[in-house]
Amino acid sequence: MNTEKAEEPEKAEKPAKPAATPEVGRAERSGRAAQDEPLLRVRGLVRHFPITKGLLKRKVGAVQAVDGIDFDVFPGETLGVVGESGCGKSTMGRLITRLDEPTGGSVEFEGQDITHLSPGRLRPLRRDIQMIFQDPYGSLNPRHTIGGIVSTPFRLQGVEPEGGVKKEVQRLLELVGLSPEHYNRYPHEFSGGQRQRIGIARALALKPKLVVADEPVSALDVSIQAQVVNLMDDLQEELGLTYVIIAHDLSVIRHVSDRIAVMYLGKIVELADRDSLYASPRHPYTKALLSAVPVPDPKRRTQRGRILLKGDVPSPINPPSGCRFRTRCWKVTEECITTEPPLIQLRTGHQVACHHPEDESDNSVEATESSDGKASTGQ
Ligand SMILES: Nc1ncnc2c1ncn2[C@@H]1O[C@H](COP(=O)(O)OP(=O)(O)O)[C@@H](O)[C@H]1O
Ligand code: SF4
Ligand SMILES: [Mg+2]
């Protein structure tokens, strides 16, 4: 696995994960009971970045990057998080890994409230929660050898693995499809895909329970993306990992996720198990996003029309009143302008924040007439 060969993402797609409710799906695959406690519980999560003015740094406004989101992540599952650029995905990732501190709401990991833990109290938690970053070039120090990079977590946490750090690092390199002989080489000697494997080895060094990956394959060549996605899939099974995978690419999200959260302007607008979301998107925004994804099967291609969204994503500094999607929605009513739709459960495991959700039967993404505007979905 240490050489990278071209491979199409579609061809690498694995059989569909269970289509039932998330509870049943997860329980089937991980052997856990349906009543399992979540590994991560997020409630009312908020991160506003203040905008200040003048010498006195008077607060004149705030970027409402994440503005009140709720979700759980259960042991052994993959939660995919998708949405256009700027909707708050990375901020959310940094909050749940506590690389950033929320301005409101709470984050619980294994039942412990970690929302405002001090750096000292967070230290032991750093072993359990790890992050994989988008940029495999920027995230590896070019002056350090691969061995030095992957052994950093052991040094930081003062952990001495059985058999020594070097042996363990070489084992990790093999685990991610590299060669133990790469130990003394430098990042510039590796391709983007190999560097991302190094980043994955570093993230897995201390046997984390939760891995949050922020656009882990977006910077990679399409021909390499499937290999890295498949590697993450295999590692999840082998090591019993729980993932939160952030991406703007719906084909990647479809491949990796058990459940999917769709974000729009700092909010979760739809949260469902993968198969119900793709078969029956209930939020107009999800429907528009999915309509922009190319369908590989030519027989199905003709049945789907592309929904062109009008206008741009509004600014998170001054988001629209009521429903944040209302400036681009073709179903908007007075209620949407005055009242924010709460995220409610329409059926088991399928939550939607919309006053006028799509019908369940109206499930295929068919030609829905849009107004003039330009397409801006999918990014
Ligand atoms: N440190 C920061 N200071 C001010 N604004 C920020 C900061 N980080 C992110 N933002 C803003 O928050 C919003 C959400 O950003 P981000 O979480 O990076 O979105 P995504 O990952 O979905 O593209 C954007 O408008 C972005 O400009
Ligand atoms: S609440 Fe109204 S504006 Fe918002 S998505 Fe639903 S129908 Fe559209
Ligand atoms: Mg981002």
The model's pLDDT over 328-353, given as tens digits with 9 standing for 90+, comes to 999 999 999 999 999 999 988 999 99
* Residue 108 maps to a domain: yes
* Crossing angle (nearest 10°) for helices 146-157 and 165-175: 120
| DSSP-assigned letters across all residues of 282-340 | -SHHHHHHHHTSPPS-HHHHTT--PPPPPSPPPPTTSPPSSSTTTTT-TT--HHHHHSP
How many domains, in total, are found in the chain? 1
C-beta of residue 172 within 8 angstroms of C-beta of residue 200: no
Q: Whose CA is nearest to atom 1 of ligand 1?
A: 49
- CA-proximal residue: ligand 2, atom 5 (nearest): 354
For ligand 2, whether the C-beta of 107 sits within 6 Å is no
Other CB atoms closer than 10 Å to residue 121's CB: what's the count?
A: 11
Q: Which ligand is nearest to the CA of 67?
A: 1
Do the domain assignments include residue 378? no
Query: Does residue 31 belong to any structural domain of this protein?
Result: yes
Nearest-CA residue for atom 11 of ligand 1: 65
Tell me the pLDDT of the chain (379 aa) as tens digits: 444 443 334 434 444 444 333 444 444 444 444 557 999 999 999 999 999 998 888 989 999 999 999 999 999 999 999 999 999 999 999 999 999 999 999 999 999 999 999 999 999 999 999 999 988 778 899 999 999 999 999 999 999 999 999 999 999 999 999 999 999 999 999 999 999 999 999 999 999 999 999 999 998 888 899 999 999 999 999 999 999 999 988 889 999 999 999 999 999 999 999 999 999 999 999 999 998 876 665 555 445 578 888 888 999 999 999 999 999 999 999 999 999 999 999 988 999 999 999 988 655 544 333 333 333 333 3
Q: Measuring from atom 18 of ligand 1, which residue has the nearest CA?
A: 90
231 assigned to some structural domain: yes
How many angstroms is it from 265 CA to the middle of ligand 3?
Answer: 13
Mutation choice for ligand 2 from 264, 326, 330, 334, CB with most ligand atoms inside 8 A: 326
The answer to the question of residue 234 being in a domain is yes
pLDDT in tens, 300-311: 544 557 888 888
For ligand 2, is residue 325 a contact (CB within 6 Å)? yes
| CATH code at position 150 | 3.40.50.300
Could you tell me if the CB of 320 is within 6 A of ligand 1?
no
User: Could you tell me if the CB of 146 is within 6 A of ligand 2?
Assistant: no
Give me the domain span that covers residue 124: 18-51+61-264
Determine, yes or no, domain membership for 330: no
Tokens of 313: 């994503």
Interatomic CA distance for residues 176 and 189, integer angstroms? 17
Sequence letter at residue 123:
R
Tokens of 58: 């008077």
Condensed to tens digits (0 to 9), the pLDDT of residues 127-139 reads: 999 999 988 778 8
Q: Which of 313, 332, 359 is the pocket-test mutation for ligand 2 (most atoms within 8 Å of CB)?
A: 332
d(CA 81, CA 70): 13
134 lines ligand 1 (CB under 6 A): no
Residue 316 falls inside a structural domain? no
Strands 210-214 and 242-247: parallel
pTM value? 0.87
Contact 146, 173 (CB under 8 A): yes
Is the beta carbon of 281 within 6 A of some atom in ligand 2? Answer: no
For residue 305, what pLDDT is reported? Answer: 73
- Between CA 106 and CA 118 the distance in angstroms is 15
For atom 27 of ligand 1, the residue with the nearest CA is 86
Tell me whether residue 336 is in a domain: no
Structure tokens at 193: 């895909």
Q: Is the CB of 326 under 6 A from ligand 2?
A: yes
Q: Which residues surround ligand 3, an ion (CB under 5 A)?
A: 90
Nearest CA owner, ligand 2 atom 3: 326
